[in-house]
């Protein structure tokens, strides 16, 4: 009689206890789909690979923080997308010498998704996002920014899918109003009427 494979949550508990084999099992289960989703967010393969590696280092260090109230895959994706955004932020600094030569030969161009992630973090969209209540912000980040399905976001947040949809709809209305108000204020300060 074969022993059933441990669940992802069981593996995370083992990782939290320092079990490297459990971490390897999680990596084997989730590496490919996480890599694919990260590559959809950036045209830079190296950036996606670094973010993915950072993800599993973070899992090793913080597996005990998983509360068990959502899907492990959604939890991993949340870490992965935050690692990618962090890497994009760092990318703005001066490149190392070896990368400077490569950059001179073929300058890196941010993809539309890279620019969107940076705008969400640092631009007007980021300010509008931060102005939302935590519940609305979590729903919009999970579905729109992180690209989770409504079902995945519901599992991650521990709420019904209908609630996720309602929160996303309300968050969009509030963000739109805040962005329009900000644009109107900008036009007024620039002398537009």
The count of structural domains within the chain is 2
Q: Which CATH number do you get for residue 86?
A: 1.10.1740.10
User: How far, in Å, CA of 62 to CA of 133, rounded?
Assistant: 26
Indicate if 104 and 127 belong to the same structural domain: no
Domain end, chosen from 77, 108, 139, is at 108
The pLDDT value given to residue 184: 75
User: Are the beta carbons of 99 and 108 closer than 8 angstroms?
Assistant: no
The pLDDT value given to residue 70: 73
Indicate if 24 and 103 belong to the same structural domain: yes
Distances, alpha carbon 147 to alpha carbons 35, 96, 165, in Å: 14, 31, 14
Q: Averaged in consecutive runs of 10 residues, what is the pLDDT profile of the chain (193 residues)?
A: 83 92 92 85 84 92 81 86 78 42 41 57 73 88 79 80 95 90 74 57
Domain end, chosen from 56, 85, 108, is at 108
The pLDDT value given to residue 98: 37
User: Per the confidence metrics, is the pTM higher than 0.75?
Assistant: no
Whether 1 is covered by a domain: the verdict is no
The pLDDT value given to residue 97: 32
User: How far, in Å, CA of 23 to CA of 12, rounded?
Assistant: 8
Whether 149 is covered by a domain: the verdict is yes
Q: Which CATH number do you get for residue 182?
A: 1.10.10.10
Indicate if 19 and 96 belong to the same structural domain: yes
């Amino acid at each position: 009689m074969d022993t059933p494979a441990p669940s992802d949550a069981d593996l995370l508990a083992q990782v939290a206890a320092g079990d490297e084999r459990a971490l390897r099992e999680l990596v084997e289960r989730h590496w490919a789909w996480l890599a694919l989703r990260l590559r959809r967010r950036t045209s830079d393969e190296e950036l996606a690979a670094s973010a993915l590696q950072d993800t599993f280092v973070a899992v090793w260090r913080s597996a005990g923080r998983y509360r068990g109230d959502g899907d492990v895959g959604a939890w991993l994706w949340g870490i992965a997308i935050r690692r990618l955004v962090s890497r994009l932020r760092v990318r703005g600094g001066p490149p190392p010498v070896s990368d400077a030569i490569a950059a001179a030969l073929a300058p890196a161009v941010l993809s539309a998704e890279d620019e969107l992630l940076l705008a969400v973090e640092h631009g007007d969209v980021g300010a509008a996002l931060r102005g939302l209540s935590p519940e609305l912000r979590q729903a919009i980040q999970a579905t729109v920014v992180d690209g989770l399905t409504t079902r995945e976001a519901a599992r991650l947040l521990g709420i019904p899918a209908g609630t996720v949809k309602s929160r996303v709809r309300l968050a969009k209305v509030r963000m739109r109003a805040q962005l329009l108000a900000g644009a109107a204020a900008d036009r007024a300060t620039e002398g537009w009427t």
